[in-house]
Amino acid sequence: YTAKATHSGHHVYRGTDDHHGEERLHLLEELRLALVDDQLVMHYQPKIDLKTGDVCGVEALVRWNHPTRGLLQPDDFLGLVEESGLMHAMTEIVLHQALDQAASWSAQGRTLTMAVNMSPSSLIDTVLPERISAMLSSRGLSPAMLVLEITEDFLLSDRERARSILTRLQATGIRISIDDFGTGYSSLAYLRDLPIDELKLDKSFIIPMKDDPRATALVVSTIDLAHSLGLRMVAEGVEDTTAYSELIGYGCDVAQGFLMSHPVPAAELEDWLAARAL
Ligand code: C2E
Ligand code: CA
Ligand code: CA
Ligand code: CA
């Protein structure tokens, strides 16, 4: 298996090199157990429509509720998931949980889009469009409520294959968002000919806006770029009111960040939504 996890950072579980024999086997056993034992839980972070101020959707972010280590963040374990070939199984669990939650909110009369992160390795699945369509229709959900957040490294690997996968996914009616936009090493040429609905500007551009005019210049021109291509622009990492109001001024469509809410369990998000409606 060659795909490298893009989530470096502070791994609790390190790569193959750091572990030998028994310990690695132990970690793998823990992870396998986590997958079948419902230890993976989703947290949800709201997205705000900057034109209306309404909550328009959420992003599902996975956590591992580890029996002894406590709540682990994606950076702590996604590397291991990827290396051990379990990303496919994890994505399946994530999609089911996120869509169950979306169906439950929909039944409560809340129309929220659900964004799910898709690793390049889980997109390379020829029956993914059919599987996702089936998951949506069995829950009575409209495809338009599902957004797949994909990273540029997927587009980089094999353009033709990426095109055919994205075209088939988009044909089902679900939406495609380019995550961490601006941080990849791919050329912008793909914007011309790949089926994409949304660009999600990485927080490493948004957070420095307050003291770096060049970051601001990049944000402004990326919003213009998105709009001139007919794409929706989402900003992540909105941490302060200044950034929030500046983004409105620049015509950004959607904002997500700690200013509004951290990613939280579904019940907490419902409380937050209720408090906000008062
Ligand atoms: P991402 O998709 O770029 O998600 C945004 C990350 O930024 C999340 O970290 C979120 O908690 C954090 N964040 C949100 N708002 C702010 C803010 O205002 N300021 C700052 N400093 N950070 C903010 P998290 O939850 O630790 O996730 C890290 C990464 O793990 C995600 O980055 C995504 O690439 C990956 N990931 C998370 N869940 C999944 C999943 O279910 N499947 C896959 N394949 N990857 C996932
Ligand atoms: Ca994301
Ligand atoms: Ca990001
Ligand atoms: Ca990411």
User: What pLDDT digit, counting tens, does each position of 208-247 carry?
Assistant: 999 999 999 999 999 999 999 999 999 999 999 999 999 9
**In this structure, what token pair is assigned to residue 212?**
């770096």
Q: Which residue out of 92, 236, 241 has the highest number of ligand 1 atoms within 8 Å of its CB and is therefore the one to mutate?
A: 236
At 97 the pLDDT is 98
Q: Is the CB of 117 under 6 A from ligand 1?
A: yes
Average pLDDT, the chain: 91
Closest C-alpha to ligand 1, atom 30: 74
At 238 the pLDDT is 98
Q: Is the CB of 79 under 6 A from ligand 1?
A: no
Tokens 């941490």 label which residue? 239
C-alpha 108 – ligand 4 centre gap (Å): 30
The answer on pLDDT for 79 being more than 50 is: yes
At 39 the pLDDT is 97
**In this structure, what token pair is assigned to residue 16?**
């193959």
At 9 the pLDDT is 40
At 189 the pLDDT is 82
Closest C-alpha to ligand 1, atom 23: 237
Q: Is the CB of 239 under 6 A from ligand 1?
A: yes
Q: For residue 5, give the DSSP letter.
A: P
Query: What is the number of the ligand 1 atom nearest to the C-alpha of 74?
Result: 30
Q: Is the CB of 73 under 6 A from ligand 1?
A: yes
- 77 Cβ neighbours under 8 A, 6+ residues apart: 11, 12, 13, 31, 64
**In this structure, what token pair is assigned to residue 273?**
């939504």
Phi, psi of 113 (to 5 degrees): -75, 150
Query: What is the number of the ligand 1 atom nearest to the C-alpha of 63?
Result: 38
Q: Beta strands 113-117 and 70-72: pairing type?
A: unpaired
The answer on pLDDT for 11 being more than 80 is: no
Q: Is the CB of 151 under 6 A from ligand 1?
A: no
Q: What is the pTM of this model?
A: 0.93
Which residues partner with 232 through β-bridges? 198
At 10 the pLDDT is 42
Q: Which residue out of 45, 61, 78, 181 has the highest number of ligand 1 atoms within 8 Å of its CB and is therefore the one to mutate?
A: 61
At 7 the pLDDT is 42
Please count the other Cβ atoms lying within 10 Å of the Cβ belonging to residue 107. Answer: 10
pLDDT tens digits, residue range 143-157? 999 999 999 888 887
